Amino acid sequence: MKDEDKFCAVCGAAVAKFTREEFSVSASNLVDRVKELLHEGNVTRIIVKDEKGKVLLEIPATIGVIGTVLAPWLAALGVIAALATNCKIVVERRE
């Protein structure tokens, strides 16, 4: 399937379009910024990368719906924030 496809070649269902935004944040603001993004509601996935672009953590948006399941993800973000100085957050949103 290509990005410009409007329908699935296998089942014929309409393909949702996604947009990506990238933010640079300091490690001290990482957890707060991710919490804000998860509460926005239209986010489908959050990817946390280090300064070199290496993926450190991927959070599916369905995790944000259930608060108790979110706790381990936030703990992992806290560890990442302790080890990194700056991070990039890539946010996927469904159009």
pLDDT for 2-12, tens place per residue? 455 677 777 87
Q: In what order do the strands lie in the sheet with 86-94?
A: 18-26, 86-94, 43-49, 55-60
Q: Is residue 1 part of a domain?
A: no
Give me the pLDDT at residue 44, please.
Answer: 82
Q: Is residue 42 part of a domain?
A: yes
Q: Is residue 87 part of a domain?
A: yes
Supply the CATH number for residue 66's domain. Answer: 3.30.1490
Give me the pLDDT at residue 2, please.
Answer: 47
Q: Which residues in the chain land under pLDDT 70?
A: 1-5, 15-16, 62-71, 73
Give me the pLDDT at residue 62, please.
Answer: 62
Give me the pLDDT at residue 5, please.
Answer: 63
Q: Is residue 10 part of a domain?
A: no
Number of domains in the chain: 1
Give me the pLDDT at residue 67, please.
Answer: 53
Q: Is residue 51 part of a domain?
A: yes
**The total number of residues written for the chain in this structure:** 95
Give me the pLDDT at residue 34, please.
Answer: 82
The residue segments making up the domain with residue 29 are: 18-94
Is the pTM higher than 0.85? The answer reads no
Q: Is residue 28 part of a domain?
A: yes
